[in-house]
Structure 1
Amino acid sequence: MSDKISANKYAVPALERAHAVLLELSEHRGGMRLTDLSRRLGVNKSSMFCLLKTMESLGWVEKSSDDVYTLGSALAAFGSTFFRGQALIDRFYRTAVETRDRLGETIQLARLEGADVFYLAKLEAPFPVQIASEPGMRFPAHATGLGKALLATLADDEVRKRLSDPLPRLTPATIGTVTELLDELADVRRQGVAFDREEAVIGFRCAAAPVFGPDGRAVAAVSVSMPRHHWEQKRDAAVREIRALAQRLSVNANV
């Protein structure tokens, strides 16, 4: 921790430590105790105590009755403001409602970041089984329809720079090599739509299409996801609707 702080002479060490605490807590959903955070980050217990007390007073962290720290509610407010403040995300929430209602399935928006997709927005389907992905989460791009829709807009050489073998498998259906992925991306380019055939989550399938900005480059992608038993009946409608939604969002799309 001290090496990272000293590397930037303009950095504020307390803020860097607070940032490190938030990252640790985001990776441990069950929470962490002061002693665990102190050991993980190499910060002495008295300094960590003062830091956590300050963060707790700001709502950045919360402490349970058994002294376990978790992320605080203030971060949710920050995240909500950030996501909904983006022009494309705002357009998504206004435009995708009709698509969600016509299909009765979950609609999502994401962008490509390196080898991952970063989820930006989500409109849930009106049924009790919910998809695990949420705004702010990341998934390997090769394992999702959203990711494949976006990777297909890149040249093969760029895809090879971002991904290397072996590709991590999230389910038995996940593509395992870059060669296999490139073959599928060629199909995506021809069809204008990408599919996730239970490659990210067993039991769920999806169709996705890219959203283009004014310069013609893909800035995001939208998808419709549904349980396997809905897929055969709704597949054609899902492809048609998600292509149409992507086209509507591509008008003046900016993120």
Structure 2
Amino acid sequence: MAELGPRAGSPAVHRAARVLSELAAHDEALSVSELSRRLGLPKSSLADLVGVLVHEGMLARDLDARVRLGGRIRLIARGLVGGSPLLEVFARACAEVRELEGRTLVLAVLLDLDAAYLAVRPGARPLPLTLRPGVRLPAWSTGTGRALLSALPHDAVERMHSGWVPESPSGHPFRLRELLDSTALARARGYASNAELGEMALAGTAAVVQGLRGCVAAVGSIVALDEPGRADGDTDAEAVRTLARRLAELIEA
């Protein structure tokens, strides 16, 4: 894999970051040989680096010697959700809300102007876009992102989007007034939706997960626009709000 230009700092740190990013982008464990091929790094030096990351708990090694993200990554990720055990209880809460059975469910936080996905519960039906932990999408064009923005003051959202704004993956034009209207509506009704945009042929419905200090994340369902039984953007609204409340209960318990 070609480098994008000179970078400051330790080359080993950059290589470690690339290893972690590559594993975060895939659900399956990978061998050192596969990582070497994907990253364009020498297998011998990569094996030494992987060994250090395993020792530090950043990676875990399976019985067949393949590696995946380790338990320490989850502890670090707690910093993104206010130090709460939100990632640990996400799967449990999803399973408890039976109305969302078969739906793709996501947990996201706001990073700059993006919704960054920390956890994904795949649904029964494949989506046009494969969502994995680590994926970032423009907050203004996604249901989870709009929910996260709705937790901020109106003027803060306006200031954040007064300059450069990330482009929609589907080419939808950004309109500040439409974003402000959508976040105001989300505050009023307790959930957000991007169904009218049809971003990447998907519709997302999301609600804020409240912690002791306010919003810690947003949880949402994502469905294909042509999914059978999807009546409109509000189809999963009450169930998603129930899921957000359940997550709040679990992290405060």
Q: Same fold (TM over 0.5)?
A: yes
Q: Is residue 138–residue 145 contact of structure 2 (8 Å, CA) maintained in 1?
A: yes
Report the residue type matching 1:54 in the other structure: S
Q: Cα distance, 1:198 vs. partner?
A: 7.0
Partner of 1:171: helix, strand, or coil?
coil
Alignment TM-score, normalising by the size of structure 2: 0.70
Distance 1:234 1:159, change over 3 A: closer
Match of 2:70 in 1: 77
1:225 aligns to 2:222 (yes or no): yes
Q: Is residue 193–residue 233 contact of structure 2 (8 Å, CA) maintained in 1?
A: no
Distance 1:172 1:212, change over 3 A: same
Say which one has the larger Rg: 1
How many residues in Structure 1 have an aligned counterpart in Structure 2? Answer: 215
Partner of 1:56: helix, strand, or coil?
helix
Distance 1:122 1:100, change over 3 A: farther
Partner of 1:248: helix, strand, or coil?
helix
Choose between structure 1 and 2 for higher RCO, CA contacts under 8 A separated by at least 6 residues.
Answer: 2
1:193 aligns to 2:191 (yes or no): yes
Percent identity for Structure 1 against Structure 2? 27
Q: Is residue 148–residue 194 contact of structure 1 (8 Å, CA) maintained in 2?
A: yes
Report the residue type matching 1:148 in the other structure: R
Distance 1:2 1:166, change over 3 A: closer
Report the residue type matching 1:33 in the other structure: G
- Unaligned residue ranges in structure 1 (runs of 5+): 6-15, 35-48, 62-71
Q: Cα distance, 1:137 vs. partner?
A: 2.0
Partner of 1:209: helix, strand, or coil?
strand
1:33 aligns to 2:26 (yes or no): no
Match of 1:206 in 2: 204
- Unaligned residue ranges in structure 2 (runs of 5+): 26-36, 53-64, 79-83
Q: Cα distance, 1:160 vs. partner?
A: 3.2
Report the Cα distance in structure 1 between the residues aligned to 2:175 and 2:100, rounded to whole angstroms. Answer: 36
Render the CA deviation track for 1:194-235: whole Å, top value 9, x for unaligned.
Answer: 1122747422111000001113x1100100111112263375
Report the Cα distance in structure 1 between the residues aligned to 2:138 and 2:145, rounded to whole angstroms. Answer: 7
Match of 1:57 in 2: 48
**Aligned counterpart in structure 2 of residue 134 of structure 1, from 132, 135, 139:** 132
Match of 1:123 in 2: 121
Hey, which of these two has a bigger chunk of helix by percent? 1
Report the Cα distance in structure 1 between the residues aligned to 2:51 and 2:145, rounded to whole angstroms. Answer: 31
Q: How does 1:1-255 map to 2 (within 5 A)?
A: 4-5=8-9, 16-23=10-17, 26=21, 31-33=38-40, 53-59=44-50, 74=67, 76-77=69-70, 81-82=74-75, 87-99=85-97, 102-129=100-127, 131-165=129-163, 167=165, 168-173=167-172, 176-197=174-195, 199=197, 201-215=199-213, 217-230=214-227, 232-233=230-231, 236-251=234-249, 253=251
Q: Is residue 210–residue 220 contact of structure 1 (8 Å, CA) maintained in 2?
A: yes
Q: Cα distance, 1:251 vs. partner?
A: 2.4
Q: Cα distance, 1:237 vs. partner?
A: 4.4
Runs of 4+ in 1 over 6 A off after TM superposition: none
Q: Is residue 88–residue 253 contact of structure 1 (8 Å, CA) maintained in 2?
A: yes
Report the Cα distance in structure 1 between the residues aligned to 2:18 and 2:137, rounded to whole angstroms. Answer: 19
